[in-house]
Structure 1
Amino acid sequence: MRSTLVRRSVLTASAVSLALLVTACGSDKAAKDESKDGGTSAAPSAPAADPAAKAKTAAELKGLLVTQADLAEHVVKEATATELQEATAAYTTTKTECQPLALVMAGSGPGKVAANVATKVTGKPKAPAADASAEEKLKAITDALKVTATMDALNSYEGNGAQEAFAAVKAAGTACAAGFPGAKEADTGKVTKIAPGPAVTAGDEAVSFTVERELDGDKTPTQLVVVRKDNTLAALYTISFGGNAEAAKVVVDTQVKKLG
């Protein structure tokens, strides 16, 4: 029991530090399409990126990334290159068709990424009152372990690279419905299921998936939202041991707004 709690606590910390990091109404046909491809949103013919478009630089991407000023009720901290490398290593999979999903979950993107930036967004735990009882303080600690953490990454591509990357992620969501093996499952938990998430309307095209992870027999739903705007691909991966990954909707909405 204690071992499980410790590992879950460590996993929560990993999510916050990015070692871990870190979807409608319509016709019957639309509902069937959504169940196959995830919570998808796009115009009948999604606007294409200019084939001659130049990729944004890392500095330009940073200007589009959410900041502490955008999310006062959260703690926002830019991810370091080392954290992103560790996350990518943890999520690498031998199942080739699932690698696009593994990459966006890790804060990167499939294909030839020209520039990549990411930030960690964590809900602020509620501190116990100064005169709180021992029981109330213990509850505050327990509640803190249920914090919702989101890894928000932006990737830029030359030409139509972002369109190709989005298509790869969407296809992987269908091909990998039964989950996929990870390089460090003992730390990150095993991906056991991928299903359509709540529908998302954003950018030129968007898709979301509910990603189920299992650690020590406990299953935790996490949420992945991927949005393409011109030749920029945004990926937001959320985990919450409170079982409410959708609590990060404000983070997703804020990031989408900044993309324009």
Structure 2
Amino acid sequence: MRATAVRRTALAACAVSLTLLATACGGSSDTGTGTGTDAGSGKDGQGGATSGSSSAPKASGAKALSAAELEAASLKQGDVEGHKIAAAGPDDEAPADGLKADKAACLPVVHAMYGAAEAGSKATSKRKVITDPKAGTKKSLEDMTDGEAEGALKAAFDLTSTLVALNAYDGTAGQDTFAGLKKAAAECAGGFTATVAGAPQKIVSITEEKVTGGDEAAAWTLVQDDEGAKAPFKLVALRKEGTVATFFSFNLAAGGDGGAKFTVPTEVVAAQAKKLG
């Protein structure tokens, strides 16, 4: 490839990838700390961590956090080093009535992917978390060699975007929601087709990952097939008392062709678990 062509492609890729990451979970690109009432305070203690395969005791007395408490416990800019955090706005919402699955048992997975609350949620808060581009060469694209320009192209796509949703439940509803998601992920491991706002999305597999945090946590890799092109996504669920947090992540460079190494966003999960106490 000619050097000029590589440089122009890299420049375009940088612009496109950053735009996609900023809008992947919706159209808002603000980097503010969130919306809603600022009353209440986040909890600073670190909760006991358990793996997704463990069985937590029934938390029958859980009291749902208020909207203000949930907002205060949500991530804000500066909570996760090397990441930009923004409140998810109206354009980021995927209404539950627009989320469907060809297998009814798989619907909780679709809801978790898009941060939709299950029945009984008393309050919801959502954030978009995007990794900052890695510090690289200070050269302009015009001064780069072909190899340097190609490296810039790859780096432009090697960013992870995560939609974090918190939903507060009373009594055992939070634990039931978490258990329902785990059951759905297991039953739908062989794949299903989701429909989001009328558009079909074919999930061909769900495999369990390891994660810890809160009273109980679980994680999975979901692989989507779009006309033969496969892309992995990471889905994490974490429960602390009556609050269930879900994390849905993707990386533009992590394709089926062995692109960027794409792992569960453990630093984001840990930061959110800490704020939930």
Q: TM-score, normalised by structure 1?
A: 0.77
**What does residue 220 of structure 1 align with?**
231
Q: Which structure shows the higher helix fraction?
A: 1
Name the Cα RMSD after superposition.
Answer: 3.1
User: Are residue 47 (structure 1) and residue 54 (structure 2) matched?
Assistant: no
User: Are residue 122 (structure 1) and residue 130 (structure 2) matched?
Assistant: yes
**Quick one: distance in 1 between partners of 2:271 and 2:189?**
29
For the 8 Å contact 1:109–1:165, the answer to whether it is kept is no
Instruction: Give the direction of change, closer, same or farther, for the CA distance of 1:251–1:16 in structure 2 (3 Å limit).
Output: farther
**What does residue 120 of structure 2 align with?**
112
Q: Could you say what secondary structure the match of 1:101 adopts?
A: helix
**What does residue 30 of structure 2 align with?**
none
For the 8 Å contact 1:48–1:160, the answer to whether it is kept is yes
Instruction: Give the direction of change, closer, same or farther, for the CA distance of 1:247–1:139 in structure 2 (3 Å limit).
Output: farther
1:175 CA drift (Å): 1.1
Task: Specify the structure having the higher radius of gyration (Cα).
Answer: 2
Structure 1's consecutive aligned runs of 4 or more residues displaced over 4 angstroms after TM superposition are 9-12, 88-91, 184-189
2:158 to 131, 137, 146: 146
1:12 CA drift (Å): 8.3
Query: Number of paired residues?
Result: 232
Instruction: Give the direction of change, closer, same or farther, for the CA distance of 1:116–1:219 in structure 2 (3 Å limit).
Output: same
Instruction: Give the direction of change, closer, same or farther, for the CA distance of 1:187–1:14 in structure 2 (3 Å limit).
Output: farther
**What does residue 34 of structure 1 align with?**
none
Name which of structure 1's ranges 188-197 and 75-84 shifts more when overlaid on structure 2: 188-197
Which structure 2 residue ranges, 5 or more long, are not aligned?
1-8, 28-50, 255-260
Q: TM-score, normalised by structure 2?
A: 0.73
Q: Which amino acid aligns with 2:205?
A: K
1:186 CA drift (Å): 9.6
**What does residue 32 of structure 1 align with?**
none
State, as a whole percentage, how many aligned pairs show the same letter: 31
**Quick one: distance in 2 between partners of 1:212 and 1:186?**
20
User: Are residue 85 (structure 1) and residue 94 (structure 2) matched?
Assistant: yes
**What does residue 20 of structure 2 align with?**
13
**Quick one: distance in 2 between partners of 1:192 and 1:250?**
27
1:83 CA drift (Å): 0.9
1:138 CA drift (Å): 5.4
